[in-house]
């Protein structure tokens, strides 16, 4: 008993708990034991909350015994360390917050806790979610379970690697330019970035407020459907939260794809895409066709500008958001500041890593007098053109499908010295953030032993459709069941 609990999906664990096959304490103990043995090789966790997890699991088992089980009662989960968690260290992967114990819970944390989920720990990430490889973390890079010399992607790399290595069946993440979908693709798991405003951003440490959105990383679409149902919905504490009904995502999974129009963006296959990845993605599109979908070519002429647009808009918002780290109310302060200016600039200079400083300075530059119109205003106009490309496409098709990432997982150290090469990693995912659209990445095959993701983007509030597409795709393929040999 207990030996195979880590191999089960969230859905399988939920049914085992409901049938009394095992307890939440047994699941929690099994996974904590695995984390203790395997975390060092992967560097997935910044904090493991073992004691609290066992306490929560005991309460969950008692609640189930007395007939008060919530939707996620006793199910294990981990949180990206960007979500404020009351009385738990919340670092955002940064030195400047490495002593920050949050006085409150993010809405995502609270909703999952209220549903009965058991939190095993907080996962490593690129500093302030700024990165696509997990190498900008103050706590060191996360390693990809498929090849420990490679990056798991980022910024939700710890969450992705934790799920891929079967240390947890599910994890929260955030996605500002691809930070859920790209690591999901690079580690062979499922990830969903919902519509902007679908999930509350309250208590989620802000990077770029008009782009950030919380989502989940799981082994399959059904697990994500279950979790998203518990997380999504209006929150008065987030002024950009949208009051829109939350459908039963699980109930929608079983509908067929008959008649579904799948858009294939010509520009996605033009250049920059690894040839073997392109073939794997084309094979995945054929599977969708075999489930009743029709492929339609769509043209998105402004899409190639999405990366430069993003690298104006996101740094601009980041430079404003990160001004709150001033060494006064929370976070690190340098010793013996000469004056207020010295305190601000040295606390920030010491506390932030190189990539975060570059982004703050890029943002400061594009917002500064004389450059605002040429960069920031221009980028916001191009953002409109990109969003219009999507809206036009969605008049012809129901979803847009393509690759999640231009290559499979790359080696740690390969791209970190060239910001532009790193930025271009997110070329297929950034558009959805700029337009506020939901997107998923679903495991769809391997290139040279490394996983590849199929990217699906839907119209606003199209999560149900995306989850159904991915679930139907999983019915005909078993890529989502593949597990790295060392973590079986």
Partner 1 sequence: MSLDKDQVQQIAVLARLSLEDDEIAETVDKLSRIVDFVAQLSEASTDDVLPMAHPLAVTQRLRPDKVTESNDRDHVQQNAPSVANGLYLVPKVIE
Residues serving a catalytic function are 80, 155, 179
394 belongs to the binding site for partner 1 (CB under 8 A): no
Of residues 186 through 225, those in contact with partner 1 by CB under 8 A are 195-197, 210-211
- Indicate whether 377 belongs to the interface with partner 1 (CB under 8 A): yes
Task: Report the distance separating Cα 47 and Cα 301, nearest Å.
Answer: 44
Smallest gap from residue 362 Cβ to partner 1 (A): 5
Q: Does 340 participate in binding partner 1 (rule CB under 8 A)?
A: yes
Site for partner 1, residues 253 to 312, rule: CB under 8 A: 302, 305, 308-309, 311-312
Q: What are phi and psi of 94, to 5 degrees?
A: -120, 145
**Quick one: which of 45, 100, 138, 473 contacts partner 1 (CB under 8 A)?**
100
Question: Should residue 239 be labelled a site residue for partner 1 when binding is judged by CB under 8 A?
Answer: yes
Give the number of other CB atoms < 10 A from CB of residue 281. Answer: 25
Considering the rule CB under 8 A, would residue 419 count as an interface residue with partner 1?
yes
Helix axes 463-476, 221-231, angle to 10 degrees: 160
Q: State yes or no: residue 337 binds partner 1 (CB under 8 A).
A: yes
- Nearest Cα neighbor of 159 from 171, 147, 151, 146 is 171
**Between 7 and 210, CB nearer to partner 1:** 210
d(Cα 263, Cα 298) in Å, to the nearest integer? 6
Q: Is 58 exposed, middle or buried (0-12, 13-18, 19+ CB in 10 A)?
A: middle
For residue 158, state whether it binds partner 1 (rule: CB under 8 A).
no
CB nearer to partner 1: give 138 or 423: 423
Please classify residue 242 by burial: count the beta carbons closer than 10 Å to its beta carbon, then call 0-12 exposed, 13-18 middle and 19+ buried. middle
Q: Please, which residue, 139 or 196, has the CB nearer to partner 1?
A: 196
C-alpha dihedral over 178, 182, 184, 187, to 10 degrees?
A: -160
378: nearest Cα among 302, 300, 313, 307: 313
Beta carbon nearer to partner 1, 23 or 200: 200
- Other beta carbons within 10 Å of 392: 12
Helix H or strand E segment including 443: strand 439-447
Which stretch in 12-20, 68-76, 249-257, 348-356 sits in contact with partner 1 by CB under 8 A? 348-356
Name the segment binding partner 1 (CB under 8 A); options: 30-38, 158-166, 255-263, 427-435.
427-435
Candidates 14-22, 141-149, 179-187, 432-440; binding stretch for partner 1 (CB under 8 A): 432-440
Pick from 339, 448, 478, 485 the residue near partner 1 by CB under 8 A. 339
The single residue among 37, 361, 476, 481 that binds partner 1, judged by CB under 8 A, is 361
SS3 assignment, position 231? helix
Stretch that binds partner 1, among 133-141, 144-152, 186-194, 331-339 (CB under 8 A): 331-339
* Residues 6 or more apart whose Cβ sits within 8 Å of residue 268: 402, 403, 428
Of the pair 119, 303, the CB lying nearest partner 1 is at 303
Q: What is the DSSP letter of 142?
A: -
Binds partner 1 (CB under 8 A): choice among 15, 37, 256, 323: 323
Q: Which is nearer to partner 1, 278 or 334 (CB)?
A: 334
Among 43, 73, 362, 425, indicate the residue that binds partner 1 (CB under 8 A): 362
Alpha-carbon gap, residue 487 to 131, rounded angstroms: 26
The three-state secondary structure class of 267 is helix
Nearer to partner 1 (CB atom), residue 104 or residue 446:
104
Measure the CA–CA gap between 115 and 76, rounded to whole angstroms. 12
242 binds partner 1 (CB under 8 A): yes
CB atoms within 10 A of CB 51: 9
Task: Write out the binding residues for partner 1, residues 103-122 only, by CB under 8 A.
Answer: 103
Look at residues 117, 379, 328, 309 and name the one whose alpha carbon lies nearest to residue 228. Answer: 117
Residue 428 Cβ, how far from partner 1 at the closest point, in Å? 18
- The number of residues that bind partner 1 (CB under 8 A) is 74
């Amino acid at each position: 008993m207990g030996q195979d609990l880590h191999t089960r999906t969230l859905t399988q664990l939920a049914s085992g708990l409901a049938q009394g096959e095992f307890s939440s304490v047994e699941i929690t103990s099994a996974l904590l034991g695995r984390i203790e043995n395997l975390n060092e090789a992967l560097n997935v966790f910044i904090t493991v909350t073992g004691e609290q997890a066992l306490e929560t699991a005991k309460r969950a088992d008692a609640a189930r015994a007395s007939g008060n089980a919530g939707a996620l009662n006793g199910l294990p989960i981990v949180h990206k360390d960007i979500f404020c968690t009351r009385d738990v260290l919340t670092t955002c992967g940064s030195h400047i917050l490495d002593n920050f114990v949050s006085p409150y819970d993010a809405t995502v944390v609270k909703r999952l806790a209220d549903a009965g989920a058991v939190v095993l720990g907080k996962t490593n990430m690129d500093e302030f979610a700024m990165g696509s490889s997990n190498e900008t973390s103050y706590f060191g890079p996360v390693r990809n379970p498929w090849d420990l010399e490679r990056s798991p992607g980022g910024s939700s790399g710890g969450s992705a690697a934790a799920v891929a290595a079967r240390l947890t069946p599910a994890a929260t993440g955030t996605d500002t330019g691809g930070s859920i979908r790209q690591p999901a693709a690079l580690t062979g798991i499922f990830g969903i970035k919902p519509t902007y405003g679908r999930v509350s951003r309250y208590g989620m440490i802000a990077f770029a407020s008009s782009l950030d959105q919380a989502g989940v990383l799981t082994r399959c679409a059904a697990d994500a459907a279950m979790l998203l149902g518990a997380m999504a919905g209006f929150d008065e504490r987030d002024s950009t939260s949208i009051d829109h009904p939350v459908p039963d995502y699980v109930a929608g999974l079983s509908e067929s794809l008959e008649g579904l129009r799948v858009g294939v963006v010509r520009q996605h296959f033009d250049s920059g895409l690894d040839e073997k990845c392109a073939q794997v993605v084309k094979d995945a599109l054929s599977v969708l066709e075999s489930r009743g979908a029709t492929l339609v070519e769509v043209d998105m002429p402004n899409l190639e500008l999405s990366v430069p647009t993003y690298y104006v808009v996101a740094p601009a918002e980041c430079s404003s958001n990160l001004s709150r780290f001033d060494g006064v109310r929370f976070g690190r302060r340098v010793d013996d500041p000469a004056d207020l200016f010295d305190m601000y600039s040295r606390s920030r200079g010491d506390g932030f890593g190189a990539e975060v400083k570059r982004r703050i300075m890029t943002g400061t530059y594009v917002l500064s007098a004389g450059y605002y119109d040429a960069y920031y205003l221009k980028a916001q106009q191009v953002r409109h053109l990109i969003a219009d490309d999507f809206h036009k496409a969605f008049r012809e098709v129901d979803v847009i499908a393509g690759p999640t990432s231009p290559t499979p997982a790359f080696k740690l150290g390969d791209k970190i010295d060239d910001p532009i090469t790193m930025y271009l990693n997110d070329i297929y995912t950034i558009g959805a953030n700029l337009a506020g659209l939901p997107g998923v990445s679903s495991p769809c095959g391997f290139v040279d032993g490394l996983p590849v993701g199929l990217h699906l983007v839907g119209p606003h509030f199209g999560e149900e459709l995306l989850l159904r597409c991915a679930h139907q795709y999983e019915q005909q393929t078993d890529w989502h069941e593949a597990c790295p040999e060392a973590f079986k």
